[in-house]
Amino acid sequence: MTNNPPFVLQQFSDKQMDLLKEVGNIGSGHAATALSTLLNRKIEMKVPNVEFVTFEEMFDLAGGAENKIVGLFLRVDGEAAGNMFCLLSVDQAQIIAKEMLQQQGFPFEGLHHEMSKSLLQELGNILSGSYLAAIADLTNLSLYPTVPSISIDMAGAIISHGLLELSTASDVAIVVNTSLHEVDETSSIFNGDIILLLDSSSFSQLFQALDVRGKCETC
C-alpha cells in the first residue's frame, strides 16, 4: 500500500482557507448557543481566529512544551478522520468548571475532582460537536466524535499523545481560537484553542468537499 504524501500549509488554496475560517465562525456560533443552554445565560462569541500551523507551532500556542494546561482529546471517525484537541489554561479551566458547577448547585473542589472532570468532558462534547457539525454542514461529510478524555499535564505530553500516529502523515494543524463571554461582560467564560489534526487521507476528502462547496457557490 502506498502512503499518502505529507500535507503542508502551502497546499491550502485561499478559497479552502476561507471556507475553513467559515467553519470557525459557524462552530463558535453553535458553541455559544449550546453553552447558553447549559448555563441558562446568554453567551456571545467573539469572531474566532483561525490559523493553520505546523506541529512545532502547536507547542508555542500552548505556552511551551513544559507549560501545564488542561487538554480534552478525542478521536474523530468517519469520512474525514483525525484527532481533535481542546486546550485550556489551568486558570481558564477553573473558571469554566466553577461556572458549570455553580449552575448545577455544586461547589468547586479543584480540577482533579471527578465532578469537575465530568463537566469539562461535557464541555469537550459541546465544543467538538459544534465544530464537527459546522464541517459537516459545509462539506456533507459524515463525522463521528468519540467521548473526550481529559488530561491535566504539561502541554508537550498532552499534544504528543495526539501526534503519535500523525507525525509522518501531515505537517498541518487547523487551530480555531474560541472566546465566549456573557452578554455585557468583557471577561471570557471560555477562551481556548480547538485543534483539528486530520489523518493524511482525510485531507484529500476535506479538500474535495471544500472544492465542491466553492464551485457550487459560484454556480
Structure confidence at residue 5 (pLDDT): 47
Q: Note whether residue 4 is domain-resident.
A: no
Cell 471527578 found at: 114
CA 116, CA 1: separation in Å to the nearest integer? Answer: 45
- How do 43-45 and 143-145 pair as beta strands? unpaired
Q: Note whether residue 38 is domain-resident.
A: yes
The CATH number of the domain holding residue 117 is 3.40.1550.10
Q: Which domain holds residue 197?
A: 12-217
Q: Note whether residue 5 is domain-resident.
A: no
Q: How far is CA 150 from CA 24, 58, 69, 92, 112, in A?
A: 23, 18, 11, 15, 10
Structure confidence at residue 93 (pLDDT): 92
Contact in structure between 181 and 16 (CB atoms under 8 Å): no
DSSP-derived letter for residue 42 is -
CA 145, CA 122: separation in Å to the nearest integer? Answer: 13
Collapse the DSSP code of 60 into the 3-class scheme (helix H, G, I; strand E, B; otherwise coil) and give the result: helix
Structure confidence at residue 116 (pLDDT): 93
Q: Note whether residue 83 is domain-resident.
A: yes
> pLDDT 10s digit of each residue in the chain, 219 long?
445 544 555 556 777 778 778 888 888 888 888 888 888 888 888 888 888 888 888 888 888 999 999 999 999 999 888 889 999 999 989 988 998 888 888 889 999 999 999 999 998 888 889 999 988 888 889 999 999 999 999 999 988 877 775 544 567 788 888 888 887 776 777 888 999 888 877 877 887 787 665 555 544
| pTM for the predicted model, two decimal places | 0.82
User: For the chain, what is the domain count?
Assistant: 1
Q: Note whether residue 2 is domain-resident.
A: no
Q: Note whether residue 162 is domain-resident.
A: yes
Structure confidence at residue 1 (pLDDT): 40
Q: Note whether residue 62 is domain-resident.
A: yes
Q: Note whether residue 29 is domain-resident.
A: yes
Structure confidence at residue 167 (pLDDT): 46
